[in-house]
Amino acid sequence: MRKLLTALVAVLLPLCVADAQGLFSNKEYSGGRQPREAYMQGAVPEVDGKVAFSKTFNAAGMSKFDIYLKLSQWATFRYNPDTERGKWNDADYFKNTEYARILKASAEEGTIKIQGNEEMVFTNKTLAKDYAIASYILLLTIKDGSATAEMQNISYTYNLTDTPERIEAEDWITDREAITKANKLNKGSGKFRVKTIDLKDELFKEIEDVLK
């Protein structure tokens, strides 16, 4: 039995060390979907001191109600807590938590307010899954021929210890916090910045595809 335990430790210890080195490496996070330049200066806009991404989508020829109907159907599926996208071995995997939901939807006002709450996976290696829970508000404002999406109120719950830590986007992924003077991504917050930008781009792409 002792020989078996010794053999297991010999096999597993290098894996644990390698994973730990990956989690706390001094190197820039390289798990983004896009070229490095997409995550650097200016990629995370602020409005009145708050991180806020926004984009207006053209839907020429579509009425306010038609756009609302398409986006409400998309949101109902996308933010269903039982909906999973991707696979565990995919670094871009996300899974909605039970807190993901549509907060408000009004065809008359042309608004859909969504609470996003989902796993944001950085790495998923043997014996070490590194992830955070990303929370945000996605506000869709609709009118004849167009829709505007705003992603705001972004925060993260990160749990590498027994005590989860809640981090505001303003304190973590802005240019001043996530990019060093040497123009490199900060080893701690850089991966949050990269994954948040990728998440935003994925959401905006899905909305754009819905309105084509």
Strands 111-125 and 128-143: antiparallel
Whether 2 has a pLDDT exceeding 90, the answer reads no
**DSSP alpha helices (H): ranges in the chain?**
2-23, 64-78, 175-178, 190-210
Q: What is the pLDDT of residues 137-192, one digit of tens each?
A: 999 999 999 999 999 999 999 976 678 889 999 999 999 999 999 999 988 899 99
Q: Torsion angle of alpha carbons 9, 15, 17, 18, nearest 10°?
A: 160
Residue 114's SS3 state is strand
Q: Yes or no: is domain 28-210 CATH 3.30.530.80?
A: yes
